[in-house]
Chain A
Amino acid sequence: MIVLFTFLAGIGAGSLGALLGLGGGIFLVPILNIALDVPLPQAMAVSLITVIATSNFVSLASAGQKSANVRLAILLQLVSAIGAIGGTYMLDYMSLRTRERVFGATALVVAVVILSRLNQRNVLQGHVDDVGFLGGWFQDHDTGELVAYRLKRVPVAVGVAAGAGVISTLAGVGGGVLVVPALNSWCGVPMRVAAATSAVIIGVTAIPGVVDNFARGHLTSPMLAAGGVLGVLVGSRAGFWIGAKVKVRSLKILLAVVLAVVASQYLWFK
């Protein structure tokens, strides 16, 4: 029965994850831990596996391939992988409660930042040939046109990606929860590109955490993991379909609300 519930939770987490480029782990961990009474380390291990499933699905789907900025992704994967590996060593010295509080506070700050910049589209007007270092073009669903964007504040993107790597391992989530809002709000990357690029990044970011969990014996139930993964793959398809029909502003509001809920979970309800 718990496998069936994990499958259903995976569908919900996968659809929200694909929609927001988050990986879905932030939804799955509380569901598994609080609702299904799965021990937290095991819930985080299953969550990280499902993050990889979401990443695979989104980054291999044609819409994801068109929107993702692959070069930006590969550079941020490098620093986020370093952060994730660092996180596996920090796990030996940090209490679980401290990790939950750090993550909750971070999610809350990012939610406020997004809500304060709701109308920022980050696209360049008119015909643009030079998009600068790591900029790009993408098909804007809102207007149907090919629009350009420039990457700003590269050090911020790098720093946030490294932090996302650490958080990914410590909290058992994808790290997109930090990367997507940072790329969109501070680095000039349109929301849809940020979400698709983040989806590419989080798959690699989650691998050190998964390997570490496996080595620590937290990944003990392949059935639970498989149930979560299959649910996430079904949910990702639904989330991607919904994502093509949702306006960017709505996507931002949804992301902020989700982040606030996640923050309250980590700060007060655990």
Chain B
Amino acid sequence: MTNRPESTGLKRVLQVALMATSATLAMGLALSLFVSGPAAPVAEALLWLGLGMLVTIPVLNVIDVVIIECRLKEWPFAAAGVAVLVLLAYTVAIKVWR
């Protein structure tokens, strides 16, 4: 069976993180649209922070799957999850840091 009830509790954290992401983006957008002057860099920082959080959530979702599969000793699926994480890390390293 593949639709499993197991959970690490990380899912709940990710749901909260998604709400926090929305709040951060909404705050950054509101500041950008309605506030000028010294607050402008803060607004832009909030927007980039929100976008960064958004991109991080799928990665944490994969980590959640890896933890569950390790607990179940389903090593092929755990390895697939780790491979996904390695590929994403490779992309960031090659494209951004190079």
Q: Identify the A interface with B (CB < 8 A).
A: 3, 49, 52-53, 55-57, 59-60, 65-72, 74-75, 77-78, 81-82, 85, 88, 131, 134-138, 200, 203-204, 207-208, 210-212, 214-215, 222-223, 225-227, 229-230, 233
B26 located at the interface, meaning its Cβ lies under 8 Å from any Cβ of chain A in the complex: yes
The answer to whether A81 touches B84 (Cβ under 8 A) is yes
- The one of A82, A131, A135 in contact with B87, judged by C-beta atoms closer than 8 angstroms, is A82
The answer to whether A227 touches B29 (Cβ under 8 A) is yes
Within 8 A of A (CB), among B73-93: 74, 77, 80-81, 83-84, 87-88, 90-92
CB distance from B41 to the nearest CB of A (A): 12
17 residue pairs bridging A and B, Cβ less than 8 Å apart: A52-B58, A53-B54, A55-B58, A65-B11, A68-B3, A74-B69, A77-B62, A81-B88, A137-B1, A207-B91, A211-B91, A222-B48, A223-B33, A225-B51, A226-B47, A226-B51, A230-B22
The answer to whether B2 touches A69 (Cβ under 8 A) is yes
Give complex CA distance A68, B48 in Å. Answer: 30
The answer to whether A230 touches B81 (Cβ under 8 A) is no
Q: Report B-chain residues with C-beta under 8 Å of the C-beta of A215.
A: 95-96
Interface size on B, residues (CB 8 A): 43
The answer to whether A78 touches B90 (Cβ under 8 A) is no
Q: Report A-chain residues with C-beta under 8 Å of the C-beta of B83.
A: 78
Give complex CA distance A71, B83 in Å. Answer: 14
- The one of A70, A208, A229 in contact with B2, judged by C-beta atoms closer than 8 angstroms, is A70
The answer to whether A75 touches B90 (Cβ under 8 A) is no
The answer to whether B25 touches A204 (Cβ under 8 A) is no
Give complex CA distance A229, B26 in Å. Answer: 10
- The one of A88, A200, A210 in contact with B55, judged by C-beta atoms closer than 8 angstroms, is A210
Q: Report B-chain residues with C-beta under 8 Å of the C-beta of A138.
A: 3
